Amino acid sequence: MLKNILEPKGYTSIRLKKTKSQHLVAQLEVNAVEGLFLIDTGASNSCIRADKEVYFELIGKDKTLELSGAGSEKLEAKPTTKSNISYGTVFLTKLTFFLLDMDSINNSLSEQGSEVIDGIIGADFLKKTNALIDYKSKKLFLKL
């Protein structure tokens, strides 16, 4: 089992859940507030719904950037100051999130019978934590 190999090497495991839309999600805490995050290896940056800025106690910066979504879609996003990310009592890292309107993403997930998400964990977080995904056991392993 992968867990028996990685945990002695300093990896922490996070339980993942597979949604009806076949995505993997994790319950994580941002600034000590729990939320549901989709794990997306194809997303360059981690994002949180713009309407959850106060809920997660995020501090958005004044500038707005244009990010590219799937296909040719352009999305307006506002970066935040670095926030604490944890899993239960385990501190994972500090990360800058991008606040953006995720209504179209959540509408699509809802239409497929999946839960609405609070944000997306992207390649920035996955690379920073040397992440490995074990699809069989539905675990995300992070080297902290």
Q: What is the pTM of this model?
A: 0.92
Q: Going residue by residue through the chain, which has 144 residues, state the pLDDT in tens, using 9 for 90 and above.
A: 898 999 999 999 999 999 999 999 999 999 999 999 999 999 999 999 999 999 999 998 887 767 666 555 667 889 999 999 999 989 999 999 999 999 999 999 999 999 999 999 999 999 999 999 999 999 999 998
Domain that holds residue 112: 2-143
CATH classification of the domain holding 12 = 2.40.70.10
Q: Name the domain count of the chain.
A: 1
Q: CA-CA distance, 44 to 74, in Å (whole number)? A: 14
60-86 burial code (b ≥16 CB/10 A, e <16): beeeeeeeeeeeeeebebbbbeebebe
